[in-house]
């Protein structure tokens, strides 16, 4: 089960202090590059204008903790990087419990969870702490220590291009800005890494593939600001990969357009693999599809997920871990659904029969020679594929009409093509 391997890979990335900039991102990309040696690492300098945004200062944390009145070190960044509010400014001072409370974040309804909090664009400092621990704090003088730096550096992302027979590209994006959380988000880069590895292992991919491992929002905006026109001219389908590692559900979130080929493929694959999958709407968006599908960008990017961000209790807390939430089975399922979706795109040709009227299948051994009353269900699907192969419908269109998984049609189409009864075209042809 490849899920085991992906899970192990995710574990190796767990401890790094990922944020929208900084060495945590670089280290993460460096480990991914061990699997994908051709991964390019791109740096976008602080201060660069990217559409309506500006690349922020780079953030670096050397250490951060609180010392209690009794001298105990708590909320240690080195113990769990979630303890520190993302992009916290440096501070070192003593203050009362009351004063400290203003800079503590906890979740009263999840007393054991450390929440995940960031303040990228406003100078703040703060610690995230479990409600349980917060409630146990005694009056007295506390020492807060944050040895962080905010400096002109850069935002870092990784990009991998896999050349296929066609210049048309399938675009796959995932993000590398979340610290120690599993479903959202180590599952995305981990699964994506292995999808890229699988595509590299295949000879003769029909399409070219472009993978980006980026920080969410500012990263995708930065990437789009540099590549918008190119992407709009090349990308024919794609996926935003996030929350793809738990074993509880499957989910789909559409592109803004909602009727792109990526949407059709996502729904088809999920329907046949996990009929009770959750189908969200564009109104439920919340990941980088917000940028990829924004007005004027409009890339055909859909999301296939396991349990969606915001839809599971552990979301954006320390409880979203690689033990009870993200599992080898969960990653395996996510990987296989995404792989299946890509296969469907690769094989989504437009079949057209080469003869008028029904072909004489019998003389080719493809049809029973004795006509009886009994139902010929074994050749029915072949006849259905033939009858819809008018050159205007894709394999996926035909599978939807016949209400079968499209992969059941592949061997039949191959057999008919071998007998020269069918030609598979890359594009629709007139009937």
Q: Which residues bind its own copies (CB under 8 A)?
A: 51-53, 86, 105, 107, 115-122, 124, 217, 220-221, 224-225, 228, 256, 282-283, 285, 290-291, 294-298, 310, 315-317, 352-353, 355-360, 362-363, 369-373, 375, 384, 387-391, 402, 421, 431
Shortest distance (Å) from residue 83 CB to its own copies: 15
Tell me the Cα Rg of the chain: 26
Shortest distance (Å) from residue 430 CB to its own copies: 10
CA atoms within 13 A on the CB side of 108: 0
> Which residues neighbour 45 within 8 Å (Cβ) at sequence distance 6 or greater?
55, 152, 153, 154
Between 36 and 104, whose beta carbon lies closer to its own copies? Answer: 104
Q: Are 367 and 419 in contact (CB under 8 A)?
A: no
Shortest distance (Å) from residue 359 CB to its own copies: 4
Q: Are 143 and 70 in contact (CB under 8 A)?
A: no
Shortest distance (Å) from residue 279 CB to its own copies: 17
Between 305 and 353, whose beta carbon lies closer to its own copies? Answer: 353
Between 271 and 290, whose beta carbon lies closer to its own copies? Answer: 290
Between 16 and 50, whose beta carbon lies closer to its own copies? Answer: 50
Q: Are 297 and 235 in contact (CB under 8 A)?
A: no
Q: Are 408 and 347 in contact (CB under 8 A)?
A: no
What's the chain's length in residues? 431
Q: Residue 398: how many CB atoms within 10 A of its CB?
A: 22
Between 140 and 310, whose beta carbon lies closer to its own copies? Answer: 310
Shortest distance (Å) from residue 73 CB to its own copies: 25
Between 30 and 48, whose beta carbon lies closer to its own copies? Answer: 48
Shortest distance (Å) from residue 67 CB to its own copies: 25
Q: Residue 93: how many CB atoms within 10 A of its CB?
A: 10
Q: Are 263 and 303 in contact (CB under 8 A)?
A: no
DSSP string, 280-311: --GGG--STHHHHTSTTT---EEEEESSPTTS
């Amino acid at each position: 089960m490849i899920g085991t391997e992906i899970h192990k890979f995710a574990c190796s990335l767990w401890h790094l202090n990922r944020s929208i900039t900084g060495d945590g991102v670089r280290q993460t990309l460096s480990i991914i590059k061990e699997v994908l040696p051709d991964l390019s690492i791109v740096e976008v300098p602080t201060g660069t204008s990217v559409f309506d945004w500006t690349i922020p200062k780079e953030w670096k944390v050397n250490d951060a903790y609180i010392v209690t009145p009794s001298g105990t070190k708590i909320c240690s960044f080195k113990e769990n990087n979630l303890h520190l509010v993302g992009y916290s400014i440096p501070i070192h001072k003593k203050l009362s419990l009351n004063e400290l409370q203003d800079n503590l974040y906890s979740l009263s309804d999840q007393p054991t969870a450390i929440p995940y909090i960031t303040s990228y664009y406003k100078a703040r400092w703060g610690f995230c702490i479990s409600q349980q621990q917060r409630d146990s704090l005694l009056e007295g003088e506390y020492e807060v220590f944050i040895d962080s730096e905010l400096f002109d550096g850069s935002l870092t992302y990784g990009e991998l291009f896999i050349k296929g027979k066609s210049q048309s590209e399938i675009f796959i994006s995932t993000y590398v800005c979340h610290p120690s959380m599993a479903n959202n988000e180590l599952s995305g880069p981990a699964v994506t890494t292995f999808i890229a590895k699988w595509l590299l292992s295949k000879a003769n991919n029909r399409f070219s593939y472009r993978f980006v491992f980026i920080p969410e929002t500012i990263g995708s905006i930065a990437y789009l600001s540099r590549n918008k026109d190119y992407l709009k001219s090349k990308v024919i389908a794609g996926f935003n990969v996030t929350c793809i590692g738990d074993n509880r559900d499957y989910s789909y979130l559409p592109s803004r357009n909602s009727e792109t080929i990526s949407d059709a493929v996502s729904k088809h694959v999920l329907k046949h693999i996990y009929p009770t999958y959750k189908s969200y709407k564009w109104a439920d968006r919340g990941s980088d599809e917000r940028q990829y599908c924004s007005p004027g960008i409009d890339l055909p990017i859909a999301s296939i997920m396991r349990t969606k961000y915001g839809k599971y209790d552990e979301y954006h807390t320390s409880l979203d871990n690689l033990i009870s939430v993200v599992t080898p089975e969960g990653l395996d399922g996510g990987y296989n659904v995404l792989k299946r979706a890509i296969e469907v795109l690769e094989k989504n040709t437009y079949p057209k029969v080469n003869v008028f009227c029904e072909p004489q299948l019998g003389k080719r051994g493809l049809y029973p020679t004795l006509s009886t009353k009994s139902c010929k269900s074994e050749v029915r699907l072949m006849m259905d594929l033939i009858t819809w192969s008018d050159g205007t419908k894709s394999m996926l269109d035909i599978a939807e009409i016949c209400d079968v998984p499209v992969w059941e049609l592949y061997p039949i189409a191959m057999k008919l093509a071998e007998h020269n009864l069918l030609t598979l075209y890359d594009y629709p042809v007139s009937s």
